[in-house]
Amino acid sequence: MTTLTYVRNFEAAEPAARFRDLLASEWLKLWSLRSLRWATGLGALIVVAINANAAFADYSNWPHYSQQIKDNFVPAWSYESSFTDISALVMMLFTGAIGTVAVVGEYGSGMVRTSFAAVPARRSLLAAKAAVLTALMLVFGILVTAGSFWVSQAILSGRGVGISVTEPGIMRGMLASAVLAPACALVGMSLGVLIRHSATATGSVIALLLLVPLFFTEDRYWSAVFKHAMLHDAWRYLHKIPAIDGAFKAQLPYPSTPGGAWLVLALWPVVAVVVALVVVDRRDL
Amino acid sequence: MGQVIEANELTKRYGSTAAVNGLTFTVRPGHVTGFLGPNGAGKSTTLRMILGLNDPTSGTVTVDGRSFRDRPRGLRHVGGLLDAADVHGGRSARAHLTLLARSNRLPVSRVADVLEEVGLTEVARRRIGGYSLGMKQRLGIATALLGDPPVLLFDEPLNGLDPEGVMWVRRLFRRLAAEGRTVFVSSHLMSEMENTADHLVVIGRGELIADEPLAAFSARGTRLSVTVRTPDPAGLAAVLISEGAAVERDEPETLTVTGLSSDRIGEIAFEHRVLLRELATRTASLEDAFMELTADSVEYLAGDRR
């Protein structure tokens, strides 16, 4: 029997591996999930709505405010309504959870094995995921921060107490709010890589970002240091504008510094990503 | 030949138990090689080590002379279907394959090609979460074929496929091997390999039992036996036993004879004027050979007290 078989030549040259292919792939991986698109959109709407509601409360209560409050309202109180403490906590919760789900969804479903069989360079793949997540969450942070400011000031301008972004200190505060989003998402991603289990990882992110800061106080030195090392406190420090910055600092026995607060906002995500990159390479899947 | 899989003293321990123990074998191109063993024998662990997903405790496994983990991108080198469930149910098949193609710098046109190949074009835009097991198996095969790789690994690929699907997969494996690829297919069912593989690597409890052509494996298992049907089974049994055969009476008129060839049995019956209605040699089935060889190494025996 004669069989004519076309035997393939498999020696064909492989194109060079490029990091941007991984970025494109990870972007598709994130954005092709309906749940993630929903979480991002819903999170943005909720944060803006919280701030709009705060501004609307001021708008409604304005006739009842004392003359002293009315005199001091611009810019400090106008600004407070543009991005409230509560809205920051909710944003941390959403972005931390989005970062966690971005990896835990992959571990939990087994997709991670398919991904790493396609790209054995695990660190490169995770670095691409971190980069895509950072970009997406930075856009999220900027849109949410700017959107909150615009909506709240539009409402307050109905009482003639809206302010402009050109007021001193406001840009710094908005920038701190914007970068808080990717910082929390990367911490979430890292915990997802470490823990790999959906509910446990999400719970841990919430505990680490929102509950742990509650254990520390400002009145003892070391406790204050740890408190200032928390993302939420670093954000709060940078968010205060000079008009109320003095009063805020005066209450504190051990005040933080702007440089220190920026360092905290930078170190959390950097350490988180480094830990994730080390761990992902060493574990069996 | 470039695209061989070589395992050398491959060992994987979890705590004190060895899932894979000192496994050495070679899988060559141009054949479908079956990877057989009872459940828990270490097949999946071995396949995961080939794909660099699990690190060996000791020993090495290479594809084309290189550890898979050392390659920056994998799809052009090895295509693997380890578990059809290793997908995110929230994506469509098209999105799943497109993102994998992009990561390996493969032309996105490959996605439509492999979807067509496995017959999922119609449902490509539906979420994978709604797929049946058979459809997920087809998607897993599409994923393995995406990079047109010279080496293909399949872990229990026939699970969940309908008979038509099984036929299709067998033809596909044969074609892939005929194209000069290395095709390594695991199964715990010998019967699945009977019509698929040319060569077998058999393991039990993480250790190598056999690494040989399918024909050699089936020949070394069970002794030949002959089925004889006659109206006088008692008379024939007596003379056959006197000639040194072992005889079992299965049905009123049917005997199973071992120790004599069918030719010799025919002669003896003729000499003793015994009428024969049927005389057939039963070749040893692969299933028998497999059961016999792996009997000592079955990890979870039914009725076994733990």
Residue A106 has pLDDT above 60, yes or no: yes
Is the minimum CB–CB distance between B62 and chain A shorter than 8 Å?
no
* Cα nearest neighbour of B90 on chain A: A33
Instruction: Give the integer Cα–Cα distance in Å for B204 and B18.
Output: 12
Q: Looking at beta carbons, which residues of chain B come within 8 Å of A113?
A: 48, 51, 53, 82-83, 86
B111: CB partners within 8 A, 6+ apart: B94, B97, B98, B101, B146
Shortest alpha-carbon distance between residue B78 and chain A (Å): 8
CB contact under 8 A, B102 and A124: no
> What is the strand order of the sheet B225-229 is part of?
B246-251, B254-258, B225-229, B278-282
pLDDT at B60 over 90: yes
Smallest Cβ–Cβ distance between A33 and the set B53, B75, B90 belongs to B90
Under an 8 A CB cutoff, do A114 and B143 touch? Answer: yes
Chain B contact for A197, CB < 8 A? Answer: no
> Using one digit for the tens of pLDDT, what is the confidence trace for A146-166?
999 999 999 999 999 999 888
A29 touching B, CB under 8 A?
yes
pLDDT in tens, B107-129: 999 999 999 999 999 999 999 99
Q: Where are the alpha helices (DSSP H) in A9-110?
A: 19-31, 34-61, 67-72, 78-80, 85-109
**B78-81 and B207-213 strand pairing:** unpaired
Which amino acid would we find at residue A81? S
Task: Give A234 to chain B, closest Cα distance, Å.
Answer: 36
Q: Are A241 and A80 within 8 A, CB to CB?
A: no
| Distance of residue B88 Cα from the nearest chain A Cα, in angstroms | 6
How close B144 comes to chain A (CA, Å)? 9
Q: Render pLDDT for A194-213 as a digit per residue (tens, 0 to 9).
A: 999 889 999 999 999 999 98
This model of the complex carries an ipTM of 0.90
Q: Which domains does chain B have, with CATH numbers?
A: 5-212 (3.40.50.300), 225-283 (3.30.70)
What is the tens place of the pLDDT at every residue in A27-57? 999 999 999 999 999 999 999 999 999 999 9
Tell me the residue type at A139.
V
Compare all CA atoms of chain A with the CA of B75 and give the residue at the minimum distance.
A118
A34 Cβ under 8 Å from any chain B Cβ: yes
Chain A residue with the nearest C-alpha to that of B182: A10
Round to whole Å and give the CA distance between A201 and A188. Answer: 8
Q: Is B52 on the interface with A (CB under 8 A)?
A: yes
Which of B103, B104, B198 is the best residue to mutate to test the A interface, defined by the most A CB atoms within 10 Å of its own CB?
A: B103
B136: contact with A, CB 8 A cutoff? no
For the stretch A208-223, pLDDT in tens is 999 998 899 888 899 9
Q: Per-residue confidence at A3, pLDDT binned at 50, 70, 90?
A: very low
Q: Are A285 and B69 within 8 A, CB to CB?
A: no
The mean pLDDT value for A89-116 works out to 95
pTM across the whole model: 0.86
CB contact under 8 A, B179 and A17: no
Distance from CA of B306 to the nearest CA of A (A): 28
Nearest CA in chain B to A27: B99
Structure tokens at A109: 């479903």
From the candidates A8, A10, A38, A285, which should be mutated to test the interface with B, based on the most B CB atoms within 10 A? A10
Least confident range from A3-12, A237-246, B117-126: namely A3-12
Is some CB atom of chain B closer than 8 A to the CB atom of A120? Answer: yes
Quick check: B52 and A116 CB within 8 A? yes
Chain B, 93 to 122: residues with Cβ < 8 Å from chain A are: 95, 98-100, 102-105
pLDDT of residue A2: 44
- The answer to whether residue A113 scores a pLDDT higher than 50 is yes
Taking an 8 Å cut-off on Cβ atoms, the answer to whether A111 and B87 are in contact is: yes
Q: Which phi and psi angles does B206 have, rounded to 5°?
A: 80, 0
Query: What integer best gives the mean pLDDT of chain A?
Result: 91
**Mean pLDDT on B56-61:** 96
Number of separate helices (H) and strands (E) present in chain B: 10, 13
Band (pLDDT 50/70/90 cuts) for residue A230 is very high
Cis-peptide, bond into residue A75, ω within 30° of zero: yes
